[in-house]
Structure 1
Amino acid sequence: MLDALVIAPHPDDAELGAAGVILKLQQEGKRVGVLDLTSGEPTPQGSLEIRARETAAATKVLGLEWRENLGLPNRSLEATLENRAKLAAVFRRVKPKWLFAPYWEDAHPDHTAATKLVEDARFWSKLTKTDEPGQMALAGEPHHPSRVYYYYCVHLKLAPQPAFVVDISDVWEKKIESIRCYESQFVTGRPTTSPTFYDRLRDEAAYWGKSIGTAYGEPIETREPLGLAKLGGLV
């Protein structure tokens, strides 16, 4: 059973948008998993074998005990009933309290489809009597994740106003280390003149850190109001 499950359209999206949150939750003793929806291939410099090696390396850096791939098609990801049932079955199996999904506004169709799929599967995961005639059978016992949070890994030049920003200053280097595992995506064929891809990542994280008075931050959005039992975690 997981405390939190990060759902990523492709391998590397979880690292880009939520590696800081993953590492911070683990520091608190929470069990965190990542579910990649697709292989991420084809890409210009990648292959199935390369991406599998890179994902395994990043998983090791993050210290994840649980990571799986749902095996849905890259570049044509859709929030179909069949895919919804597959994802809901995972929710029922690992029973996460919190879900982390891609931010709902994006230029990449796979990302927006992933967000829709997560929200739909979250609802389906709680349904009973799914074995009756006319219903799509769902494996496992009903389970309803209590919260969905949204991380930013977008292909738009947005100016977000997130619900909150997590201080990731003490895990920033580990986050970058996990992203660097995806060499085929972020090194090979990328410009080497400043500002590089990694310069941009640092600058963005520093911007969010500045917004909360820390070195580095990671923005998170919600659709539902947040409830706080205490204020001790505010910075």
Structure 2
Amino acid sequence: MYEYIRPFINYSIPDEECLYGNKVLVIAPHQNDEAVGCAGTVIKHVKAGGHVEIAFCTHDSSERMKEVSRAVSIMGSQKNHYMQFPMQTLSGNKNFEDNLAMIINKVDPDTVFLPFWFDKHSDHIAVSKAIINIKQKIDLNFMVYSYAVLSPLNPNCLFDISDVWELKKKMIECYKTQTVLRDYVKIAQWLNQYWAEIKRPGMLYAETFFKATVQEYISLGKRIFK
């Protein structure tokens, strides 16, 4: 895998100020992935006047639906899409791919957030694999920022989220059905503090991503899963 992603990686991770374009689509396989993986960067984008929509792929429980409504109000997304597929059913699911293609086509995003190829959950990997098949159905033209939830990634861009960390923390804390299983606040805090310190002593929190054009991301996926 490292041989495939090495051309995208720099010794010094660039510190970016803004996302590519204005319209952002966040793809969250589960309700809380968006909070852990990219909430800080997205919140900053909204505060700067950017447009954000979230596509939630699966449905867990009515309680989690209540939690997500509170969480997205903190993020400031303008519209949310709920596909409601059962958990662990996304892999190879043509109906899921068709629904996701319809949302992408409707939103026409400049930037898409999604879990990295090797994030440790079958539903997370299924989202990236679905992008390959969607490319055969509709034209795709956006920048991919892939994020980590359950497994660290090798990043090639970084966003300082020090000024919005408390909002990200508050958003994660909305998902009480999930934080009772794992301390996602601690997971995000340690990871974001680690990359901030690596980048620049004095920076408090940073989110990192693997950034590529959608064409590059698809090409990479085909090589990895050939």
Common fold: TM-score over 0.5: yes
Separation of aligned partners in 2, 1:69 and 1:109: 19
CA contact (8 A) 2:36 2:184 kept: no
More helix by share: 2
Higher relative contact order (CA 8 A, sep 6+): 2
Percentage of identical aligned residues: 29
**Deviation above 4 Å: which 4+ runs of structure 1?**
none
Residue by residue over 1:181-201, the C-alpha shift from the partner in whole angstroms, topping out at 9 and shown as x without a partner, is 0011103x55xxxxx553332
Deviates more, 1:77-86 or 1:110-119: 77-86
* Paired residue secondary structure (1:215): coil
- Provide the aligned length of Structure 1 versus Structure 2: 191
**AA matched with 2:75:** L
- How many Å separate the matches in 1 of 2:40 and 2:132? 23
What amino acid is aligned across from residue 219 of structure 1 in structure 2?
T
Q: 2:80 aligns with which of 67, 87, 93?
A: 67
Specify the SS of the correspondent of 1:124: coil
Hey, what's the Cα distance between the residues in 1 that align with 2:30 and 2:100?
Answer: 15
User: What amino acid maps onto 1:150 in structure 2?
Assistant: S
State the TM-score, normalized to the length of structure 2: 0.78
CA-CA distance at 1:212 after TM superposition? 2.0
Give the one of 141, 147, 153 matched to 1:151: 147
Q: Distance in 1 between matches of 2:191 and 2:35?
A: 14
1:82 counterpart = 2:95: yes
Q: Which one-letter code corresponds to 2:186 in the other structure?
A: D
TM-score by length of 1: 0.75
Out of 24, 28, 45, the position equivalent to 2:44 is 24
Deviations 1:2-43 (A, max 9, x none): 70101011000011101011111112211011111001x2xx
* Structure showing greater Rg: 1
Cα RMSD, aligned residues only: 2.0
Give the CA deviation at 1:89: 0.9
Alignment of 1:2-151 (within 5 A): 3-39=23-59, 41=60, 48-126=61-139, 144-151=140-147
| Residue type at the aligned position of 1:164 | C
